[in-house]
Every structure is written in structure tokens, then in C-alpha cells.
Amino acid sequence: MLSTVQVMQVPDAARTAILAWFDASGREFPFRGVADPYAVLVSETMAQQTQIARASAKWTSFLTRFPTIEALAAAAPADVLREWRGLGYNRRAINLQRTARQIVAEHGGRIPTELSTLERLPGIGPYTARAVAALAFGQPVGPVDTNVRRVLGRIVSGTKQPAARALQDIADSAVPADRPADWTHAVMDLGATICLSARPRCGMCPAQRWCRFSADGETVPPPRTVQGSGHPPFPQTRRWLRGRVLDRLCDARVSEWTAIAAPIGVHDEDAVVRVLEKLAAEGLIELNRSQPLRARLPTV
């Protein structure tokens, strides 16, 4: 049985084992080992809610198109959205450019090192702020995403996840001062490949010996099988409709007002209008108020 002290923190031996496993088996991506703060900010913004392999492929082309934070700040939002195409959650692209513009205007183009300052930038929360601090600036802070939460939560307390604030403290205290970037990637890789949400591969885990979840013999139920065709009803969702509208505008010339003919799929004109209004409110498109259902990507 694990001791009470071990339950509230990641044992040093477990941390050493995880890092050794990462050294031997960690995944390779173009942005790993890169410490340039701007490149790190771009990669971490892309990786939110997007498969890391897809983000990795887009990261290279995005930095080729916008090689510096000044280049991103000066670009037309339409060009940023076009380069972002395929990653989804397009609001992240607009927030990333807003962040770039704020950094150029208020910080002389240098990304801040302080967590509190990073968190005040558009679209940057505790996770992204800590990821930039750890990966770009070598600070011993632990970004917590879904994978990290699951790995550390299982190690310290089995199936009962600690409260968010407690888990953040555990994540910060677990970071080795000399390898914050490697540790960040190691825990994420462990959660993505071995400490899975369903059917975790405990026998392959380097931290099994120190893991409360494994020590208590916990199990995870297999994922439920959804009956039906096996194809999720994406065309019925507002997210699908947003994507189709933005695809049409990305295909058009930047300065042109493009007619968004309705219906689109199963969505009637009222639904299309609502999505257009929402996209405009988020700064993702501009609407031609004198011509209904005409829009374009933002030009400034």
C-alpha cells in the first residue's frame, strides 16, 4: 500500500522512471526540442483540441508563412485563417494573432516570461501559460491537460481525481528543475500512449510500481459501443455548418463579399444566418449588412 505522503505527490522514483521511459520511447515531433517562445506558443495553441500529429504537420507550414511574431501580428486575419485551415476551432487562430499583436504593441515583440502576464493574453489560460513557461523558458511549472490530469491523478490518488487546484500543485511540484520541457512531454506522452482513459496499459507503464490506481487494482470499463451506422451526425451540428461557411470564405478572394447561399446541408437559411452572426461576433468573419448572407474573412 502506498503511504499517505506518496498519495499527495509524485514519488521521485516514479519521476525518474517516467523520464527514463521518455528518453527511450518518447514520440518525435518537429516542435520538440524547440525553445523559441514564439514557435512554442504556436505549437501549444495548435495542439489544443487537435490531434498532435495534425498540429505538427500544420505547425511547420504556419511558421514558414509567419516566421516571426511580428509577421503574424502584421498579417491580414484572412491570411491567418487560411493558413490555419484544417485544424478546426478557428477562434484559436484569431486569438493567437490578437496575442501576437498585443505582444508586439505592449512587450516589444518579446513573449512575457511571467505566468500572470501570459494568462492575460487573449486565449491563453493556465495550461498554455505554463506550457510556454516550461518549454520555452525552462521554468519548473507543470501544464495540466487531460492526459496530464489522468496520469498524475491516477498516480497520486487512483480513480478519485484530486481537485483542480490540488492537482495543479501536484503537477508543479513534480517538475524536475533541470528538465521541465522533457517532463512536460513525458507525462503527456504517457497519457496519450499508455495511461489511456479506457483500457490503460498498466503493465507497460514505467510508473506502475508507484501508482495508486494500479496498486488498488482499479479497472476502467471498456468504451460503450454506439449502435447505428457508426458515422456520427456531424452534418447536423452547428460546428459542421461553421466549418462549411469558413471553407467557402477561405476559397474566395480576401476582399470579395461572398454569397453564402442557403440551405447548407440540412441547415436552412435561419440557421445559416445565426451562424454568420455568431462568426462575425467572434471576429472570424465580416458581414455585409446591406446584402444579406454576404460575408468575407476579416481584412484587418
User: Does residue 44 carry a catalytic annotation?
Assistant: yes
- Cβ proximity of 212 and 2 under 8 Å: yes
Per-residue pLDDT at 230: 39
User: Full-prediction pTM beyond 0.85?
Assistant: no
* φ, ψ (nearest 5 deg) of residue 85: -50, 130
Give mean pLDDT, residues 149-153: 96
Question: Structural domains in the chain?
Answer: 4-28+142-215 (1.10.1670.10), 37-137 (1.10.340.30), 234-296 (1.10.10)
All 3 cell numbers of residue 92? 484559436
Residue among 44, 70, 119, 277 flagged as catalytic: 44
pLDDT in tens, 47-70: 887 888 888 889 999 999 999 999
Quickly state the pLDDT bin for 280 (edges 50, 70, 90).
confident
Write down the number of H helices and E strands in the chain: 15, 3
Q: Which residue has the higher pLDDT, 280 or 209?
A: 209
pLDDT in tens, 235-252: 778 888 888 888 888 888
Preceding amide of 140 cis, omega within 30: no
- Cβ proximity of 272 and 245 under 8 Å: yes
Percentage of the residues of the chain whose pLDDT score is greater than 90: 58
Residue 6 has pLDDT above 50, yes or no: no
Helix (H, G, I), strand (E, B) or coil at 112: coil
Q: What is the DSSP string of 84-96?
A: HTTS--THHHHHH
